[in-house]
Amino acid sequence: MNTAKKILHPVMRAWIRVTCYFFFDEIHITGQENIPNDGPVIVASNHPDSFLDALLITAFYKRSLHYLARGDVFSSPFVSKILRFLNIVPIFRREEGTENLSKNDATFSFCLETFKEDGSILIFSEGGSTNEWNLRTLRKGTARLAYSAWKDNTIAEKLTVLPVSINYSSWLSAKNTVYLSFQPIIESKQINTTIEQPVALKRFNDILKEKLAENCVIIDKSAEQENQKILSAFFLKNLINGREVLLRMLESLKKGDAQTKNNVVELATYLKENKISYLKRSSFATFLLCGILYNLAFVFNCVPYLLSRRVSKVATNMDEFYDSVLFCVLLFLYPIYLAILFIVMYFIFHSFLLGAMLIALTLLTAKLGEWAKGNIQGYLKRAHYDKVKVLTEKFL
């Protein structure tokens, strides 16, 4: 790694992590103890939200990362140079032209050299990204890369594969809740690399998919799909153990449990009819406090947020890249906005203290705005709280 990368990459990772704490309402992280402290690693993740997934993993993976990204984004030499500086290398899929598949040989060679230096490579094993609660069919790229490394005598059993599961409570907005789970590693002895390659690749994908599915929200598309979506968003957003409750519910539905199906329909219908998104009991005093706080959050943060939303909407047309672009625009725009606030305050009042206080208040309201919004709805919908609580407890 060159000097510029050694200096900038840790700074960028810290910057991304700080932005995550403000971009998301809550971040639930489990399994960080499963991240290997050393040795070569393939980080194999599901892919529900474009390159926001990579940014999230980067923020909370304890080591430096290299990334595999779809080859078509490297078409511009200028963009390609930037991406490679960020440790991103291309992997070509059939959708990008069969004539480009031979270029993957260079990428695989790069990956093997990275493993020999005990590096980590992030790959999204589904191949593409779609905003949905699902785990799509795994492509063979991760399996081929792992198999090739395990067959290389200089890497062999030193390589481990770290499955990572990501679940979001919603898409196309900031301030959602995210669950990031680092699963137990996969080792070469679990695959038996002495068997024929096609058999080994299938076995690898079966094991990887099983591990990813343990903490992936996967909606059953055969029945009650809309109601499952309503409860997925509600549970992930409002319950401390929302993912675990949701996984149990979905498993019961998959088994055809009639009582669970009735409970799902009852709660989802009630939430939809009464337009309830939050499960909070709020007093009048809390309502007043949160009303002030929410309005302050809007006043202090509307300029960067509304501008970022506008740029992201124009750039993506609200497709699966929207959240990622919104995050990146805020990543760069928000610090500039804070700096301008501080400079303006200093030149008006000639006080570093007042400038620092304004920045602190802006950050505080940005972080607590979603909490305030939930409590405002909690008070306005207070007549429904007990009913929703009772219906929710049927799943606990």
Going from N- to C-terminal start, the domains of the chain cover 3-213, 225-278+387-393, 284-380
Give the pLDDT of residue 7.
Answer: 86
Q: Is 57 exposed, middle or buried (0-12, 13-18, 19+ CB in 10 A)?
A: buried
Residue whose structure tokens are 């103890």: 33
* 309 vs 234: CA distance, rounded Å: 24
- At residue 1, the pLDDT reads 57
Q: What is the mean pLDDT of residues 293-310?
A: 97
Average pLDDT over residues 40-60: 97
**Tens-digit pLDDT profile for residues 135-189:** 999 999 999 999 999 999 999 999 999 999 999 999 999 999 999 999 999 999 9
Q: Could you tell me the pLDDT band of residue 78, with boundaries at 50, 70 and 90? A: confident
- How confident is the model at residue 74, as a pLDDT? 82
Q: Strand, helix or coil at 88?
A: strand
Cα 379–Cα 368–Cα 22 angle in degrees, nearest 5: 140
Can you point out the beta strands (E) in the chain?
Answer: 26-30, 41-45, 66-70, 88-91, 120-124, 160-168, 177-182
Which residue from 371, 315, 344, 360 is spatially nearest to 307, judged by alpha carbons?
315
What's the average model confidence in pLDDT over 343-355?
A: 94
| pTM beyond 0.85 | yes
pLDDT tens track for 240-267: 999 999 999 999 999 999 999 999 999 9
Both tokens of 26, joined, read: 């809550």
In sequence order, what are the residues at sequence separation of 6 or more whose Cβ sits closer than 8 angstroms to the Cβ of residue 224? 253, 261, 264, 265, 268
CATH for the 3-213 domain, from 2.60.40.10, 3.40.1130.10, 3.40.50.720, 3.20.20.70 = 3.40.1130.10
8 A C-beta contact, residue 128 and residue 167:
no
Contact call for residues 71 and 83 (beta carbons, < 8 A): no
Inter-residue contact 207 to 190 (CB < 8 Å):
yes
